[in-house]
Structure 1
Amino acid sequence: MESFVVIGLGRFGSAVAERLCQEGHQVLAVDVDEKVVQNMADKVTQAVAGDCQEMDVLRALGVQDMNCAVVAFSNDIGKSVLVTLNLKELGVPQVICKSKSHVHRRVLEKIGADRVVFPEHEMGVKLAQGLSSSNVLNFIELSEDFGIVETAIPRAWHFKTIKELDVRAKFKVNIIAMRKGKDGALNVAPGPDYTMEPGDAAVALGRTEDVNRLQDLE
């Protein structure tokens, strides 16, 4: 079990805090709005009203002893930056921040955020990937240049092994997992002798432009 502090209890922060607690982790949820905090009280380990722009507040909450902090608001860039700086100064091992724009993300990365998420952009990309091809089952953007795609394998791959297809050399992507059927079990890191069958889905990692090419294969 790990310990998390989630700062900012809007829809995004509340969802993160509640799910982390459901997964069995210790979760401290913080927001300046007491009404919001009361609504979260029964869904997390502890919910507290406080202004995390104040270093003394963070120290009193004991965030310096947490495994991870999530700065889950992005409406006020200045406040987001200050809270992130405070968390880094207190030595929180991992600080994850929500951003509202690419510029905001770059600022957060510059001041030391360990990971920056841009939910609206990422969901937009994911939706576009799904709409652009019926073969694409899932898409995760890792950065502006790299992504992971889960896609139904083309007919040309049926009954061939990963070694025979030489996917890495021919398509410049790495097959990191295979799924038997749409809802089947995931085979992580399949060996070169894995034989692909109709209905299989491949999970591939690579440059976005390269993983996109997989959806055009027939």
Structure 2
Amino acid sequence: MKSVLVIGLGRFGRHLSRKFIDEGNAVLAIEKDETRADNAVNIVNEIQIGDATNEDFIESLGVNNFDICVVAIGDNFQTALEITVLLKDYGAQFVIARANREVHRKLLLRNGADYVVYAEKEIAERIAIKYGSKNIFDYVELSSDIAIYEIRIPNSWLGKTIVEKAVRTRYHVSILATKKDGKIYPLPQPTHVFKPDETLIVMGTAKSIKEITR
């Protein structure tokens, strides 16, 4: 179990708090708007009303004792930036911030954020990849150049085994699982025969995936 401080209880902050709690973590939420705080009492048990841009208030929270601090404020960049800087100044171990623009993401990273959620960009990229290709059904980015994809099996692979196609060495992707009728079968054996009624869950670079799905 991790201890998590979530600052801001808008929609993003509420959803994030609920998910952290569902995963068994302890969450303390901070919100300066009492109405927003009241709307979240059925989600987060522990909520404090306060202004996170106030140094004395941040110091009183003991932010260095939390495993994760989240600045879940997306509608006021200046406020989010100030809070991010204060959290780091007072010893926060790991700070996650939210950005609505690329320039904001860069500034947050330069001023103390360890990770920045750029939701609009991430969602847009996922939609474009998922629905813009007839051979890619889903996509999860792991880094700037590596992602996990659910793909249609190329026709030239059907009836062949993983080892026959030398997927990893020839195509530079790793097969994590196969999927059939909505069920996932992890880590298929090298002797697994590719079938037309299944899809593949693979990990690789965008360039490698494009090569096998074009």
1:61-100 to 2 correspondence within 5 Å? Answer: 61-100=61-100
Deviates more, 1:161-170 or 1:49-58: 161-170
Q: In the alignment, what sits opposite 2:177?
A: 178
State the Cα RMSD in Å: 2.2
Q: In the alignment, what sits opposite 2:128?
A: 128
Give CA-to-partner distance per residue, 1:28-62, whole Å, 9 cap, x none.
Answer: 11122111011111211311221112232123233
Query: Is contact 1:153–1:201 with CA below 8 Å preserved after alignment?
Result: yes
Deviation at 1:113, TM superposition (A): 1.8
Q: Secondary structure at the match of 2:44?
A: coil
Q: For 1:144 and 1:42, locate their aligned partners in 2 and report how far apart those are by CA, in whole Å.
A: 37
Distance 1:93 1:166, change over 3 A: farther
Query: Is contact 2:74–2:99 with CA below 8 Å preserved after alignment?
Result: yes
Distance 1:178 1:83, change over 3 A: same
Q: In the alignment, what sits opposite 2:204?
A: 206
1:137 and 2:137 correspond: yes
Q: For 1:28 and 1:92, locate their aligned partners in 2 and report how far apart those are by CA, in whole Å.
A: 14
The TM-score, its normalising length taken from structure 1, stands at 0.86
Deviation at 1:162, TM superposition (A): 2.8
Q: Secondary structure at the match of 1:41?
A: coil
Deviation at 1:67, TM superposition (A): 1.1
Q: Secondary structure at the match of 1:131?
A: helix
Give CA-to-partner distance per residue, 1:76-121, whole Å, 9 cap, x none.
Answer: 2222222112222233222111111111111122223221111111
1:26-45 to 2 correspondence within 5 Å? Answer: 26-45=26-45
Query: Is contact 2:179–2:185 with CA below 8 Å preserved after alignment?
Result: yes
Deviation at 1:144, TM superposition (A): 4.2
Give CA-to-partner distance per residue, 1:160-217, whole Å, 9 cap, x none.
Answer: 3333222233333333x113315213415x554444333333222333233233332x
The TM-score, its normalising length taken from structure 2, stands at 0.87
Q: In the alignment, what sits opposite 2:213?
A: 215
Q: Secondary structure at the match of 2:88?
A: helix
